[in-house]
A and B are shown apart, each in its own frame.
Chain A
Amino acid sequence: MLIEPPVFRSHEGVLDIMMVATPKLASTIAYTPPGGGQTIHPQAWVFEVCARPSTGLSCPAGSGTVSPYGGVRLALRPGDVLKVRFVNRLPKVDPNKLRHVNDPGEANLYLNPSNLHTHGLLTPARPATRTDPTFGDFVYLTVFNSANGLPAPQSTHQHGPILMDKVDYKITIPANHPSGLFWFHPHVHGIALNQVVQGMSGLITVGEVSDYVRDAGLTPWSETQVRHLMLKEMQVLAAGTVNFDSGPQPVANGEVLNQEDTSFCAQQPASGELRLGACPGQDNSASGGSNFTGGKWFMTVNGQQFPSIPVSPTKGEVWRLATGAGSFSWNLQLVDDKSQKPMTVQLLSIDGVAVNLPQNTPPSVVANLGGAGRFRVAPCKNSQVIGTTVPVCVDQIVMMPSSRVELWVTYRDGHGQVARPPSGASATLKMIGLTMGTGDAWPAVDLAKVLFSVGGAEGLATEPRSTTLTDAVVVGGPADAAGVDAVSGIHATAVPGSTPTALPEGCAPLPLGHRRRVFFGFSDVTVNNTFAMGYEEVDERGRVVPGSQKPAPDQLERFDPAHTTVCLPLGPGQTPVSETWELIQLSTENHNFHMHQVRFAPADSKGRVKQDNILLGVTTPDPSIADRVANNQNGVCTATQWRQGLCASKPVVLEIPFSQLGEFVYHCHILEHEDGGMMARIRVVPSPY
């Protein structure tokens, strides 16, 4: 049965823990090498978590220290302070198996530096000072394990502060922070994919589900009917040879391929093939790729391979789904085992903020919730409008890297109506496969068995068996998608601790009517995987503001932490400031825009949802250049071609409220692309007024 992640809860407003990044065998993953032999538990990289000891950099032995591959949950409340002593005990990596070790300034990546990012939390990206030597959510710092040696000084592209062995974080959760689901993971440019894929991630929750979900009788939703699901994936190799950028390299039985090969498995199972929590490696040598025969790509829920999930037959459950994948995108359906049709579930929250959909919400907004392609909206049968929010149901969910979604899962009959399940009713949570434009083709695998049993234990805890069928839930609360913009919401109130300060050079407010335009593409379209971003400012008439283009007109640049692309001040009175950003895709492969420290809304959603990542569609080259783009430009247009109208790309326009100070980043959250350079530096400073 699916096991909940271990929880560390705040007490009297504080959660003070130590998190040690360390190698550990993933006991919940069992790999049998070809030809039989002893079962191998692959080596994962995990966060070993404990209450912060009074001295030392090790967690004490005992039940208070946990280090599951599936991850832990940090349970916080608005107004809490999260204190983390982060310690790096990761092993060195073979540089021949690292993609970016030869990139400018990245020669130390093989020493396996790491850090911590509290993804989705609306908190300052604060560096350390003499008066407060802790860091906020500051992803530029790197912590090296001194056992691996000291990093050699680099002359360019230095990531940020370099610390040995440990760093102290102090993350203050604002009192008006939305209640919801967030997560944490490392964020060192160039090796983020490797560390996340090898297991380094976990959940953060703020508040309770009952803050924004009630049953039809308006009783706050019980935590006993809440389940947390963290999806992870890991490619485990059979002994042999694998092609890396450095050339063919030997690999051992049970070795984890953390640089990931997206063609590890066939995308769809063969006829009669069962894929329960894993798919078998395939031989790609005929096309010049690696032979993964004998290997396995595990796809787990809370670190478990194909667990069973019993769901209350009368109340259902709230599922809080997150993904700890690096580049992998999930395309999820809950498929009724009898009818083989996708079941409907009710959507409650996106990326940690409960939805708020008034009755006059246009159908087009509902159909494109979270951006085009993120959800397949389905009729919400027998749901009632109780309160202000219209219920929204979906029967297919795309979770690109970093997405979170919260759902009400309960048995529904063949007509989509909430009903009492027949005896033995069950469903399968499936990843049905997903292709990202001309890019990655993610494979189909069954993830879990859901049991809507009429007998057996109800819910997650023993409680008196309810016989009343819950046929609707009500979504909404003071910090939902509308609440964050309301008078006392985090997007409206003055930013704590910010005082009038002269503007640094290069920082200026965006003039009224102007927007920021960001390009997603390659720095050199003739060289594959030169992931990069470009920037320009556009005035109210759609004209590019002279001198605003970075790095240069129609050029894109791979991430250089020394370059700040955008610097903006808060509004007068240190109030949050909202800007319009326009995202332009130059690739025929999907990307996934994410920005730290914010929650944005698609411009056409009128703020009814808030999210922190959004899927970007692909560009369509004109037939006159389609062959050239496909065969000579690695499937990527240039900015010039787009400007000439030769590459059609529907801009994704966002309204982004900036309510947090600090230095942070925006990037594609497909970590292969982020590590490859599709990231840029942004800074928010106090207003001078």
Chain B
Amino acid sequence: MTVVIVVCGVLLTIGGACAVVRAERGPSMLDRTVALDIVVTTLTAGGALFAAVERRTDIVPILVVLSLVGFVGSVTIARFASVEPAGEGRVRTRAEVAAESAEARRVEELAEAAAHPRPAEPAADDATGEVR
């Protein structure tokens, strides 16, 4: 029985790892959805394997929940992905994300300043990062 368990664990691990690699590569959101569906199924199988090894019945509700959560996740992403602009499936780099959020913050601050023009800045002290 030990050999069977180890072989099953290795097979499940390799399968899950391949699916994670595909989820990382993309190229589109739907490919990632399919890959993550397989990861959830592999997790379910892993939980079932653990329960079978230990003869534990308290794992079974977890399997029920996992099978439902995987369904909700993939359907939600499929609804989202129906209209996907070109280049949207790519994962952005850290620098691009930072530049985008800085741009968004700048635009927001400009709008804020235009809406509420402040009379005069109180004496600017050194504590620039202070939360007010």
Do A and B interact?
Answer: no
A interface residues, Cβ below 8 angstroms from B: none
